[in-house]
Amino acid sequence: MNLINSFYKIIGIKVETREALMKKFLIVGLGNIGEKYTNTRHNIGFKIVDEVADEHKVVFETDTLGDVATFRFKGKTFVLLKPSTFMNLSGKAVKFWMQKEKITIDNLLVVTDDLNIDFGTLRIKAKGTDGGHNGLKDIQEKLGTSVYPRFRFGISGNFSKGRQVDYVLGEWTKEETSLLIERLPTSAKIITSFGTDGLANTMNAFNGK
């Protein structure tokens, strides 16, 4: 038995349990709850995890601080979370479910909109600033770090001065909606690739696509 396994034996955690936890991933789609927010740009995180759930034929159930769905794929467990705390308090739900499911920060992936990249551009990063995004800001504050994987979906910054809130809380245009149909399956593949192929390989395969 190697040194790491010996350590886990000493503190009472079975090696099998540790290995199982390393194969579990928390995927958090950011958004706001409520019918009026369903088709808004700020809710792309919800839309992407909904796409993943549909592809893997699982249904979200309301639970503590969010709606949750779980599935297994290629030997890995994926816990999908749509926080019910509203965007600005997303960190509370993220921290709760990380602790409940014993998810390491390396196995957390936050899916969010990004005003700073072109519409439909997909970008995965290992860390970063909140970029003025209140959901990411709260997650950083609650976790005490900005070093966690995130998947940013570009919504562009096509709005006039002082209209940012109206823009992100506005609904997709007809053109954007038609293009989303093409981007959502690729976005779902990013989620499963993160768990099965790892962060670095996923970044190499999908960034900028």
Mean pLDDT of 104-131: 92
Does 11 have pLDDT greater than 50? no
Residue 7 has a pLDDT of 41
133 is catalytic: no
pLDDT in tens, 100-112: 999 999 999 999 9
Residue 9 has a pLDDT of 54
Does 135 have pLDDT greater than 80? yes
Does 94 have pLDDT greater than 90? yes
Neighbours of 12 (CB within 10 A): 7
Residue 157 has a pLDDT of 76
Does 10 have pLDDT greater than 90? no
List the domain boundaries for the chain.
24-206
The band of 129, judged by pLDDT with boundaries at 50, 70 and 90, is: confident
Rounded Cα gap, residues 102 and 141, in angstroms:
19
Residues making up the binding site for tRNA: 37, 86, 88, 134
- pTM of the predicted model, to two decimals? 0.88
Residue 32 has a pLDDT of 93
Residues making up the binding site: 37, 86, 88, 134
Please identify which of the residues 24, 41, 42, 137 carries the catalytic annotation: 42
pLDDT in tens, 157-178: 777 676 788 888 899 999 999 9
HSE, CB side, 13 Å, CA atoms: give it for residue 184. Answer: 18
Could you say which of 3.20.20.80, 3.40.50.1470, 1.10.357.10, 3.40.50.720 is the CATH number of the domain covering 24-206?
Answer: 3.40.50.1470
